[in-house]
Amino acid sequence: MSSTIREAGLGAGASKVTPLPARAAANTPVPLDHRIARNPGMKLDLGFVESVRSVNRSALERRVASLTKRRSIKADNQAAWLLRAVACMDLTTLNSNDTDERVRRLCAKAVNPFRRDIVEGLGISDEKIRPAAVCVYHPFVATAVDALRGTGIHVAAVSTAFPHGLAPLSTRLQEIEASVKDGADEIDVVIPRGLVFGAKWRELYNEIVSMRAACGDAHLKVILGTGDLATLRNVMLASMVAMMAGADFIKTSTGKESVNATLPVGLAMVRAIRAYFEETGYLIGFKPAGGISTAKASLDWLVLMKEELGRPWLEPDLFRFGASSLLTDIERQLEHHLTGHYSANHRHAMA
């Protein structure tokens, strides 16, 4: 685990704060050589962790309210933003009644997310606008890998005794290794929330470091279970420890908590991402999950990312939705954009 902090070019007395990437327009093409340097993590710095513990909930809520009211995205612009939401989606099935066939149907939907008439009406026949990944339980990883081979769509596995993370660490690590062996190239792990309540930051850090090592080349998305963490302060502290331990993404929720992704929690987490970037120079991804089921909600999240972190965080390398029914509503909105009418959900195939 590297502990290097990127401070190249700093002279005596110079600030080590790294500015965020330039804020280009949302529809600005990303350069062809666009690459995200993977976060190597850093040594656990409890002083740095403590520096982000002060969270003003009222201020965050006011900021969120201003973001969602100030922007109005309409007509062709709205359609373009909704297509961007699809490209940043982890299409997910995490049900107790999942089967291989259901996963295959979900993968088929990921490969062809829109009806042909919608594709032709939008003029995107030559574009490959697809969800970034399909997310499944470990027993279905091999099925998804086989169904998605050659498509460029990633396979994400939820591991580490999802959704509670209460199995022995050795068991959780074995599950990660098994999912990677079956072909998953993204691993969504869940932390034991009790470590946060007990302020056991060293133990939490060490567990995530071990999970990162078990992932190998697969990217690590760390689920905080924010609905269980009680306070935004806990959310901020857990976010920072996860990034220090080498998380490639930090993720809000499992989707199984009573409260899942909310915009104030998301704002706290993206500001932790900004603080980590300013300290280290590494860009960390963000994934809100659970309860994001409408096209309107997806636009709110995209606006949040654009306003707080900038254009690079509108790419699937750095932003994902954890979603199941969201794709259906986006497809309905796109049909309304083309025809002026909403269609029934059953006209839009889903697993």
Average pLDDT, the chain: 89
Using an 8 Å Cβ cutoff, are 224 and 247 in contact? no
List 188, 228, 248, 329, catalytic entry:
188
Q: What is the mean pLDDT of residues 279-300?
A: 95
pTM of the model: 0.89
Q: Would you place residue 72 in the very low, low, confident or very high pLDDT band (cuts 50, 70, 90)?
A: confident
Query: What proportion of the chain, given as a percentage, has pLDDT over 90?
Result: 81
Tokens of 305: 């990312």
Known catalytic membership, residue 251? yes
Cα dihedral: 268, 274, 278, 282 (round 10)? 120
Q: Is the pLDDT of residue 260 over 80?
A: yes
Q: Is the pLDDT of residue 17 over 90?
A: no
pLDDT value for 230: 92
List 182, 185, 248, 251, catalytic entry:
251
pLDDT value for 346: 73
Stretch among 39-48, 70-79, 195-204 having the lowest mean pLDDT: 70-79
Q: Is the pLDDT of residue 1 over 90?
A: no
Residue 22 vs residues 26, 28, 310, 312: alpha-carbon distances, Å: 12, 11, 7, 9
Q: What is the mean pLDDT of residues 11-40?
A: 53
Question: How do residues 115-173 score in pLDDT, each as one tens digit?
Answer: 999 999 999 999 989 999 999 999 999 999 999 999 999 999 999 999 999 999 999 99
Known catalytic membership, residue 188? yes
Q: 37: burial class by Cβ within 10 Å (0-12, 13-18, 19+)?
A: exposed
Q: Is the pLDDT of residue 348 over 60?
A: yes
Question: How do residues 184-241 score in pLDDT, each as one tens digit?
Answer: 999 999 999 999 999 999 999 999 999 999 999 999 999 999 999 999 999 999 999 9
Q: 59: burial class by Cβ within 10 Å (0-12, 13-18, 19+)?
A: exposed
pLDDT value for 16: 43
Q: What is the mean pLDDT of residues 11-23?
A: 44
List 221, 287, 306, 329, catalytic entry:
287
Q: What are the backbone angles phi and psi of residue 90, rounded to the nearest 5°? A: -100, 100
Q: Is the pLDDT of residue 254 over 70?
A: yes
Residue of 122, 177, 157, 186 whose CA lies nearest to 316: 186
Half-sphere exposure of 348 toward its Cβ, with a 13 Å CA cutoff?
A: 21
Q: Would you place residue 35 in the very low, low, confident or very high pLDDT band (cuts 50, 70, 90)?
A: low
Q: What are the backbone angles phi and psi of residue 319, rounded to the nearest 5°? A: -150, 135
β-pairing verdict for 154-159 and 133-137: parallel
Q: Would you place residue 24 in the very low, low, confident or very high pLDDT band (cuts 50, 70, 90)?
A: very low
pLDDT value for 19: 52
